Structure 1
Amino acid sequence: MTTPARASLRRMIDEKQLVVAPGVFDGISAQLAKRTGHHAAYLTGAGVAASGFGLPDIGLVTQTEMTGRARMMVRALGDVPLIADADTGYGAPINVTRTVQEYEAAGVAAIQLEDQAFPKRCGHLPDKELVSPEQFELTLRAALDARTDAGMLVIARTDARGPLGLDEAIDRASRYAAAGADVIFIEAPQDTAEIERIAAEVQAPLLLNLVIGGLTPLESAERLQELGYAIAIHPSALLAHAALGMLSSLCELNGKEVGPFLPAGPEDFFNLVGMAEWFEIGERYRTEAQA
């Protein structure tokens, strides 16, 4: 038997009512999303990495850490559906199987999996690497086989737009829909025409990611409803304003100007939690391996 939150998300999608899901990352953001009357929330991996662990969104947070956050936020949200980021599934199909089992037990209404190679990185950063569509289809098959409640939706995300172009992204999206994904997510379309083309060519319920300062224009809910999108996630809507408030307060306390600390986009934001330093570590070992 499915949960009320899962049934609610499925019903909104079946009724073609756009689901607007603000990004939540801790207990207070989940509670506030519920108390302000939102009909769904999105567990943002970037937000959990930054707020929970002081880390950038480059594949450093583990499945168990994300599951713990998901369980806590499901409890805070009650019957409000939680759409949960699960990155690449955290490994091979056997790992994906356990990830789906743990997320399902945590009570999420939908789990999102992507076709990046591990370690992944934020979808609005450059230099992403992908697995083959065949490999990701195995990930999807493992996920669909692992869930015991078909009410929990499986969302398939492709990051192909950046490294391989929109044609490849649409081809992959259609493959993933045919493989059984409940919702399709093409990450980072770069203009309104691309958003419209995806809506016209991908025959499946669609999710769009709207990141402040990211690559995708911030289309209105009304326009996305007209185009037929099923879900609009806003992962940075709460996080960006929370970070701005903290920076402003901290600079006020010690008399510094806040301007130099303000991020202009995702890359600047993740540098506030050490992305440049982590990339330096990764480059150091990559160079040594090539020597």
Structure 2
Amino acid sequence: MTPRQKLRALAEARRGVLVPGAFNALSARVIEDLGFEALYVTGAGVTNMWFGLPDQGFMGLAEIADHTARIRDAVELPLIVDADTGFGNALNVRHTVRTLERAGADCIQLEDQVSPKRCGHFAGKDVISTAEAVSKIKAAVDARRDSDFLVLARTDACAVYGFEAALERAALFAEAGADILFVEAVTQAEEVGALPRRLASPQVINLVIGGKTPISGTDELGRLGYAFVLYANAALQGAVAGMQKALGVLKQTGTLHEDPALVVSFAERQRLVGKPALDALERRYAGRIAKAHL
């Protein structure tokens, strides 16, 4: 199967597949190396890493497309790509889908916030009208070239209009052709349990460490019927903690050795970025050149 077909099969299985977020190609390599089945190209992570800014609409299409293409080259895993609000109206969404499909995305996530959007677990969110949101989902569905390319529709209406209104929006997104639904930032355990019962389409739940949604075990969420359990920025938060720890020791002591509690080894870093495979290719091509001159 292609990565897109694999992702569709994972969605339909509804077994709570863990999906970590990648904020660059190296983090994607780590996710694949650890055996995860899919990854999420996180807009918040790209914004934090690329600009050093919070997730408040600073990322554009060019940045997320560039990261998607680099991650696509680095890993074989299915890629769910965060496209925020689609970067404009329904026509802009068409362009966004075409751009990200070409960059190697297997699924695009679109949300219904006003622009500039903000992290789903921040206060002060607002959403566009239901009619406009539905039109953008229809545009995304129409724009895809490959029928296996998936559209993931997210609503942030729960924080603005309440849980029932968010359910109504999500159902309309499914009618518009969305393959996967995502009701962001539910705050009650009862709501977490109700979503897979109330909506027929495969669903994502987003577990933000320190966020608004109660953290539940992946096995439990799989039993409830969620397709994907998203940890969009666990890798980024872990990387920041690791940098602070290692550099804190360096600042305090003035030196840093190859301590596995603080840093990966030089050899492990080279393995993750594929140096052994590139060395083998270099030997192969050098051998062919040498033979050609005999």
TM bin (shorter chain): 0.7 to 0.9
Answering whether residue 83 of structure 2 is matched by residue 86 of structure 1, we say: yes
Distance in 2 (CA, whole Å) between partners of 1:170 and 1:176 is 10
1:189 to 170, 173, 186: 186
2:9 to 8, 11, 17: 11
Q: What's the counterpart of residue 271 of structure 2?
A: none
Answering whether residue 221 of structure 2 is matched by residue 230 of structure 1, we say: no
Distance in 2 (CA, whole Å) between partners of 1:15 and 1:206 is 11
Indicate if the aligned counterparts of 1:170 and 1:202 stay in contact, CA closer than 8 A: yes
2:109 to 103, 112, 132: 112
SS at match of 2:230: strand
Offset of residue 74 of structure 1: 1.3
Which runs of structure 2 are paired with 1:263-282 in the superposition (5 Å)? none
Distance in 2 (CA, whole Å) between partners of 1:75 and 1:205 is 28
Offset of residue 198 of structure 1: 1.3
Q: What's the counterpart of residue 99 of structure 2?
A: 102
Indicate if the aligned counterparts of 2:13 and 2:227 stay in contact, CA closer than 8 A: no
Offset of residue 19 of structure 1: 2.2
Query: How many residue pairs align between the two structures?
Result: 253
Q: What's the counterpart of residue 214 of structure 1?
A: 211
Q: Given residue 209 of structure 1, which amino acid in structure 2 is its aligned partner?
A: N
Q: What's the counterpart of residue 119 of structure 2?
A: 122
Q: What's the counterpart of residue 33 of structure 1?
A: 31
Which runs of structure 2 are paired with 1:129-144 in the superposition (5 Å)? 129-144=126-141
- Aligned-residue CA RMSD in angstroms? 1.4
TM-score w.r.t. the length of structure 1 is: 0.84
Offset of residue 252 of structure 1: 3.1
Distance in 2 (CA, whole Å) between partners of 1:128 and 1:56 is 14
Distance in 1 (CA, whole Å) between partners of 2:100 and 2:55 is 19
Deviations 1:144-187 (A, max 9, x none): 11101111110000001112111111111111111110000000
Distance in 1 (CA, whole Å) between partners of 2:147 and 2:217 is 31
Indicate if the aligned counterparts of 1:5 and 1:81 stay in contact, CA closer than 8 A: yes
Distance in 2 (CA, whole Å) between partners of 1:117 and 1:14 is 30
Offset of residue 253 of structure 1: 3.5
Unaligned runs of 5+ in 2: 254-294
Deviations 1:110-151 (A, max 9, x none): 100000000000000000011011001110111111101111
Unaligned runs of 5+ in 1: 257-291
Q: What's the counterpart of residue 60 of structure 2?
A: 62
Offset of residue 27 of structure 1: 1.3
SS at match of 1:211: coil
Q: Given residue 152 of structure 1, which amino acid in structure 2 is its aligned partner?
A: F
Distance in 1 (CA, whole Å) between partners of 2:160 and 2:12 is 33
Distance in 1 (CA, whole Å) between partners of 2:236 and 2:111 is 22
Deviations 1:91-124 (A, max 9, x none): 0111111100011111111100000000000000
Identity %: 40
Q: Given residue 123 of structure 2, which amino acid in structure 1 is its aligned partner?
A: P
Q: Given residue 50 of structure 1, which amino acid in structure 2 is its aligned partner?
A: N
Q: What's the counterpart of residue 71 of structure 1?
A: 69
Deviations 1:2-25 (A, max 9, x none): x71101111122233332110101
Indicate if the aligned counterparts of 2:40 and 2:232 stay in contact, CA closer than 8 A: yes
Indicate if the aligned counterparts of 1:26 and 1:52 stay in contact, CA closer than 8 A: no
Offset of residue 58 of structure 1: 0.3
Indicate if the aligned counterparts of 1:83 and 1:109 stay in contact, CA closer than 8 A: yes
Distance in 1 (CA, whole Å) between partners of 2:188 and 2:219 is 17
TM-score w.r.t. the length of structure 2 is: 0.83
Offset of residue 52 of structure 1: 1.9
